[in-house]
């Protein structure tokens, strides 16, 4: 016999964009089996709940996972009656109170039951198992501590799984201090300047636009100037400013979009839709909700906040263009805002994402954690019809029939895997990307110093010679001799090559490279 939320989903015909992960069965012995994110739990007969709404919902709250999309759809299907009946039957029971609170929170409708007059306050959700708001709001009507991390308009869920908790234990501050002690503050800050540009270039590589030099420079400028320095980065004015900085002030359709949008790929025959974003009419409400989440979770784990805010933004997809860059901007912005990273230091997370096939593939898979089941749920709801030019100037023939139904998924995404991925990316970035760049900078600095012992020159000329020698296999090219006639002297040229090459050979020996 099945029990819990799955029973109610089947009984009320609830079709989810984010499937229930847990399936509970009443059997003879207790057992847990997990496969590909799906969990099957068996319980002995003593756990059998009453076969009604209250019995199965209480069982789910006790033994299964919070699933806000499911709750919102279920309450829309049941109406208030079963929750009112349960509240009258067990007015002081914590599960009836939590359910009554959740119904009113998610639907915005008040149940026809009296306020709870006694009993201790209980948390809406477990702070041990979920990311919660830092300062709970006391709801006297239900004697509930509202510790949900967002607001009804938008509240992502982050489960504190064992893997997530382990990833969040990464001490970012300690790792940066270790880099500082190893390489020195001056090297780290000089490295940060280069990493800002590297982050910009890698971010455009993710968008498959790595050859757009002017846009790379613009995005680097935006990162350096605005990360951690905007009072309200999620406001429409701030997003307009960031987008204009990234795309240029003359770009078409700046600001929040006023047209439908999908993420996909074009082929010779047709467009393939991978994800459909919320309707433009809902953008302000969703962004306000995301901002409320940011305010409510200040003081919580910076890595979890950065991941949730950045990935939620990309799913809301509020701009015509530039969403991906702003998404990755927000990761650094939140980390600096939360003082997890010193002001002026940019973590090149995009460089890590593009550093290996595994990280890049995992980035795409992480985005698909939400988008793939979403599109499976609404596979028959989208099509291409008549071309319409919308008020922001965008021509589009996308038609999506289920905007109202899909709001439950857009408003309550589960971003657990996104937090896990981001935390692991940040750890790799600090321990590998930043450390490697610091070593490269030290090597380059040593090569400059040794070159100038042979031939005095400005830094700009030294840099040009070093790069030319390294790119040409430690040979002095004819072009380099033409630019620097002093290198026509074979003896001097040999000394220059040896001075520069020895700096790089020392680095190889120190790092154990062959």
Q: How many helices (H) and strands (E) does the chain have?
A: 21, 11
Rounded to an integer, what distance in angstroms lies between the CA atom of residue 262 and that of residue 313? 14
d(Cα 436, Cα 442) in Å, to the nearest integer?
10
For 432, residues 6+ apart whose C-beta sits below 8 A from its C-beta are 352, 355
- pLDDT of 355 higher than 70: yes
Extents of the domains making up the chain:
1-68, 79-148, 162-249+261-433, 455-511
Strand pairing category for 38-43 and 137-139: unpaired
pLDDT at residue 239 is higher than 50: yes
d(CA 327, CA 282): 19
Per-residue pLDDT at 212 exceeds 70: no
Residue 56: the pLDDT is 98
Among residues of the chain, what percentage have pLDDT more than 70?
Answer: 94
Count of alpha carbons within 13 angstroms of residue 421, beta-carbon side: 25
Q: Which two tokens stand for residue 115?
A: 């306020």
Q: How far apart are CA 16 and CA 48, in angstroms?
A: 25
Top pLDDT among 309 and 347 is at: 309
**Which phi and psi (to 5°) does residue 142 adopt?**
-110, 0
Q: Is the pLDDT of residue 304 over 90?
A: yes
Task: Give the span between the Cα atoms of 328 and 228, in whole angstroms.
Answer: 13
The tokens for 98 are: 């939590």
Quickly name the fold that domain 162-249+261-433 has: Fic-like fold (1.10.3290)
Give 364-398 pLDDT, tens digit per residue.
999 999 999 999 999 999 999 999 999 988 999 99
**pLDDT tens digits for 9-61?**
999 999 999 999 999 999 988 999 998 889 999 999 999 999 999 999 999 99
Point out the least confidently predicted range of 111-115, 139-143, 462-466: 462-466
Strand ordering across the sheet containing 31-35 = 2-3, 22-26, 38-43, 31-35
Instruction: Look over the chain and give the mean of its residue pLDDT values, rounded to a whole number.
Output: 91
Q: Count how many Cα atoms sit within 13 Å of the Cα of residue 336 in the half-sphere of its side chain.
A: 21
> Which among 60, 308, 368, 42 has a CA at the least distance from the CA of 164?
308
Q: Please state, as a whole number, how many other Cβ atoms lie within 10 Å of the Cβ of residue 314.
A: 21
The radius of gyration computed from the CA coordinates of the chain, to the nearest angstrom, equals 28
Q: Say if residue 465's pLDDT is above 60.
A: yes
Closest CA to 199 of 335, 56, 78, 45: 335
Largest CA distance in the chain: 98
Q: What is the mean pLDDT of residues 493-512?
A: 79
Token pair of 207, please? Answer: 């968008």
Q: What is the mean pLDDT of residues 56-78?
A: 98
Angle at 475 (CA atoms; ends 473, 477), nearest 5 degrees: 115
- Residue 452 near residue 329 (C-beta atoms within 8 A): no
Confidence of residue 511 (pLDDT cuts 50, 70, 90): low
Strands 137-139 and 144-146: antiparallel
b/e per residue 467-478 (b: at least 16 CB within 10 A): ebbeeeeeebee
Region 393-413 average pLDDT: 95
pLDDT band of residue 514 (cuts 50, 70, 90) is very low
Other CB atoms within 10 A of residue 275 CB: 18
Q: What is the DSSP letter of 321?
A: S
Q: Report pTM.
A: 0.89
Q: Higher model confidence: residue 78 or residue 200?
A: 78
Q: CA 73 to CA 189: how far, in whole Å?
A: 50
User: Tens of pLDDT along 246-297?
Assistant: 888 888 788 999 999 999 876 666 778 999 999 999 999 999 999 999 999 9
* DSSP designation for 132: -
């Amino acid at each position: 016999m099945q029990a819990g939320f799955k029973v109610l989903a089947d009984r009320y015909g609830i079709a989810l964009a984010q499937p229930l992960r847990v399936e509970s069965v009443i059997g003879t012995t207790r057992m847990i089996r997990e496969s590909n994110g799906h969990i099957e739990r068996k319980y002995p007969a003593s756990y059998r709940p009453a076969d009604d709404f209250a019995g199965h919902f209480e069982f789910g709250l006790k033994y299964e996972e919070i699933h806000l999309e499911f709750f919102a759809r279920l309450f829309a299907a049941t109406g208030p009656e079963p929750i009112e009946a349960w509240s009258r039957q067990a007015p002081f029971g914590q599960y009836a109170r939590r359910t009554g609170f959740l119904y009113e929170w998610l639907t915005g409708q008040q149940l026809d039951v009296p306020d709870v007059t006694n009993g201790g306050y209980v948390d809406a959700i477990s702070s041990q198992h979920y990311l919660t708001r830092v300062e709970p709001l006391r709801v006297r009507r239900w004697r509930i501590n509202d510790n949900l991390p967002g607001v009804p308009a938008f509240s992502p869920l982050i489960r504190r799984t064992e893997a997530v908790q382990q990833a969040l234990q990464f001490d970012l501050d300690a790792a940066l201090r270790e880099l500082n002690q190893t390489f020195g503050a001056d090297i780290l800050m000089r490295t940060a300047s280069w990493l800002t540009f590297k982050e910009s270039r890698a971010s455009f590589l993710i968008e498959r636009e790595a050859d757009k030099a002017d846009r790379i420079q613009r995005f680097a400028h935006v990162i350096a100037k605005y990360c951690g320095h905007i009072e309200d980065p999620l406001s429409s004015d701030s997003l307009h400013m960031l987008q204009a900085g990234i795309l240029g002030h003359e770009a078409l359709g700046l600001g929040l979009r006023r047209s439908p949008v999908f993420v996909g790929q074009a082929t010779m025959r047709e467009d393939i839709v991978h994800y459909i974003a919320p309707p433009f009419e809902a953008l302000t409400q969703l962004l306000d909700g995301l901002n409320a989440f940011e305010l409510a979770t200040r003081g919580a784990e910076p890595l979890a906040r950065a991941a949730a805010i950045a990935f939620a933004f990309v799913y809301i997809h509020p701009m015509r263009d530039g969403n991906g860059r702003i998404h990755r901007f927000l990761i650094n912005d939140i980390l600096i805002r939360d003082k997890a990273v010193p002001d002026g230091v940019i973590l090149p997370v995009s460089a890590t994402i593009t550093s290996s096939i595994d990280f890049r593939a995992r980035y795409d898979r992480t985005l698909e954690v939400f988008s793939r089941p979403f599109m499976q749920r609404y596979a028959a709801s989208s099509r291409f019809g008549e071309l319409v030019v919308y008020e922001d100037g965008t021509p589009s023939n996308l038609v999506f029939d289920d905007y109202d139904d899909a709001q439950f998924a857009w408003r309550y995404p589960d971003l657990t895997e996104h937090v896990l991925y981001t935390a692991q990316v940040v750890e790799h970035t600090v321990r590998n990307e930043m450390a490697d760049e610091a070593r490269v900078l030290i090597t380059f600095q040593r090569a400059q110093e040794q070159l100038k012992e042979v031939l005095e020159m400005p830094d700009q000329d030294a840099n040009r010679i070093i790069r030319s020698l390294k790119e040409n296999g430690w040979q002095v090219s004819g072009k380099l001799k033409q630019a620097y006639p002093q290198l026509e002297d074979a003896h001097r040229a040999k000394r220059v090559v040896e001075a520069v090459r020895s700096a790089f050979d020392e680095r190889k020996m120190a790092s154990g490279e062959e």
